[in-house]
Structure 1
């Protein structure tokens, strides 16, 4: 005899708490739900409206510096520790969870030009305006001694410093790019190309032997520290202030430029950028990628931060406050939840990476509701009403009018070019893509 046994999972019908609502079974047959699409559209519209209502990205400020903050560095293994160096030579170690300063000490005479952590997080390196490179010990709690464990006198003034991702090697830049071993007082390799100084240098987080730098002659340089000469060089129309490698795509990097734009390049083809990221209305000073490699944050002289998807030309988010001045530094936290910015009025600000995200522990039903709303917003993202509400941002009056003026200028240039082409002999005025116009020259 064959017996069929009914089996039910208690999770499908038992309430989580006594005050919880009873779960009702539902038949998902589309024939029984003829108005499902209109209902989902209304839910997507309401979810988009609520997202803008709860968009409060600013979390807090860290104040205490007595001069402009010139450099910042994230701890590679701890989410709560942050280093900041000012133009008066002072370094502060911050505890982000408590929003307090753990340690303050005088590291250099003059500017703190750059700082970086060792990959194990037990020590960090700084370089300053006194032409010295110092190595400091740091505990997991953020405490450090007032005296460095190692000091190197540099022959040239270092303007930036970055550490190799897996070896005891670091790089400095200035009149030339130097590769140093932590156990030696002389550089093990030096690179020069031209006479202008290199003001920023970054190691590739995927291909660890590659590094890139930005020079004051408007060029971007690529190096392989295993070779004896620089690899490639590309010159843009204006100077690039900062550079950031994509942490998941080994060949992609983004530069922050003086012409109000950011440019993403594939190092295998530098003749034109793969994307131009617009929206800033003043010089872009710094850029940093999220750990997922899908977005990056930028800060500029227009006193705001912008978050860009890597494949989009316009920002998805803009952050600003009334008292924030020109943003000189930005960092994206390693847990992909927070953004740190330093500006001219000596403050470090902490922001949420997603403006309307709820902080803290979420219940399972809350997670399910948030995920459902995200799917609905993606599904109806191109509907006019949903698109209009999700794109709307309040921005300062100065940025609004500057963006409007730049739009008029761009349209005028485009109209003039089309008129010249229309009234010239066919083929004499070729159509050049906008991305190709930005690159002046490429050298190998």
Structure 2
């Protein structure tokens, strides 16, 4: 569960991680810090890395934190329990690593196995580590390009997916001695997220401004293409419910998509927020955390209009009634426009209009070329297949 930074000369957050207690989250640049969401203060610091920290992940029980970075080290940390964190007066603000593993290459990402003792790192190759061993128990390599993101499957602990700088998405099985399958796309994939409720499906954040949802059993065609961003999508993360995911983009916006929706249902932006490099859903699916290029962390509501806090029975019934009315009349044009309309910054609005004009011009050009060619010489190809160059097994 990593967040990476692709531009090392920029001053922004490298990673962001939400703890299982929901009340705390991590971020790091050269150090790792544990923050309290309610008080917005640092309750613990994990120093030790000599360079930029590229990856961060937490074990399923929330007790062990694994970090890796450009100093070619993997460090294991003991995460304090919430009862200790609450008593900040007696808590030591600095922690020492449980173990330090030194390796021969820098790391770009790390992810922990679900309900297991293994974790995987991405770099010059994919390495599988055990908590009790100082060297990898297994290594995978397919080509010579750098793996930039890695995610374990939440349903099948032995399956993991990676994206690499050669525009490939690769599926690995720890029970096999070699990688299982790979697809090569036309543009690079920056991050991958598995659907926790449908573990056979994952969504890839791509450089071509779109997100692509795939079925791991059929990689020759995307299940859904999620549009609306106007610049490269840098990171992605699924809600624990599996019904939505959040994406952060180079266009300085954060968007929330339905798992099967082609367009976003919500877009978040502020005047001072710069390019978004990392996003995370909280474990209760109520909040979204984003880290941007302006060195700030921002906390958003997953549902912008939702009332927080304790609701009285009358208030809850009123909200349910209003939601039912919107669903009842959502087919009417007036209601549909109110539900779908979102204000956008002028730059993003103009960029979206320009992308629509370019897409329409490309479609008309292809239709004219097909009309003036021999029948069948230029086959029609959907967008779900067009971005895939080949599938390798």
TM-score range, shorter chain: over 0.9
Q: 1:331 aligns with which of 280, 297, 316?
A: 280
2:61 pairs with 1:117? no
Aligned mates of 1:396, 1:145 — CA distance in 2:
41
Distance 1:249 1:240 in 2: 21
1:84 aligned to which of 17, 27, 49: 27
Q: Where does residue 280 of structure 1 map in the other structure?
A: 229
8 A contact 1:219–1:234 mirrored in 2: yes
Paired residues for 1:392-407 under 5 Å? 392-407=341-356
CA distance in 2, matches of 1:246, 1:105: 30
Deviates more, 1:191-200 or 1:96-105: 96-105
Aligned pairs for 1:335-414 within 5 A: 335-414=284-363
1:42 corresponding residue in structure 2: none
Deviates more, 1:253-262 or 1:366-375: 366-375
**Residue 68 in structure 1 maps to residue 68 in structure 2:** no
Task: Tell me which of 38, 41, 44 is aligned to 1:100.
Answer: 41
Q: 1:134 aligns with which of 75, 87, 103?
A: 75
Q: Which of 237, 244, 251 is residue 302 of structure 1 equivalent to?
A: 251
Task: Tell me the residue number matched to 1:418.
Answer: 367
CA drift at 1:146: 2.9
Q: How many residues align?
A: 376
Cα RMSD (Å) of the superposition?
1.2
Q: Which has the larger radius of gyration?
A: 1
Q: Distance in 2 between matches of 1:147 and 1:391?
A: 49
| 2:209 equivalent to 1:209 | no
- Distance in 2 between residues matched to 1:287 and 1:259, nearest whole Å: 14
In the alignment, which residue of structure 2 is the partner of 1:5?
A: none
Deviations 1:75-98 (A, max 9, x none): 12x011111111xx1211100122
Secondary structure, counterpart of 1:69 in structure 2 = coil
- Confirm or deny that 1:270 pairs with 2:219: yes
Per the alignment, residue 8 of structure 1 pairs with none
CA distance in 1, matches of 2:299, 2:292: 12
1:316 alignment partner, SS class: strand
Q: Secondary structure at the match of 2:107?
A: coil
Pick aligned residue for 2:265 from 307, 316, 324:
316
Greater shift in the superposed pair: 105-114 or 401-410 = 105-114
Cα deviation, residue 67, structure 1: 4.2
How far does the alpha carbon of each residue in 1:242-284 deviate from its partner, in whole angstroms, 9 at most, with x for none? 0000001011000100000000000111001000000000000
**Structure 2 length normalisation: TM-score?**
0.94
Deviation at residue 106 of structure 1 after TM alignment: 2.5
Cα deviation for residue 209 of structure 1 reads 1.1
**C-alpha separation in 1, matches of 2:69 and 2:383:** 39
Gaps of 5+ in 1: 1-65
Check whether the contact 2:46–2:96 (CA below 8 A) recurs between aligned residues: no
TM-score, structure 1 normalization: 0.83
> Is residue 44–residue 94 contact of structure 2 (8 Å, CA) maintained in 1?
no
Task: Answer yes or no: is 1:433 the counterpart of 2:376.
Answer: no
Unpaired runs of at least 5, structure 2: 1-9, 86-90
Task: Choose which of 184, 188, 193 in structure 2 pairs with 1:235.
Answer: 184
Runs ≥4 residues deviating over 4 A: 142-145
Partner of 1:63: none
Aligned-pair distance for 1:107? 2.7
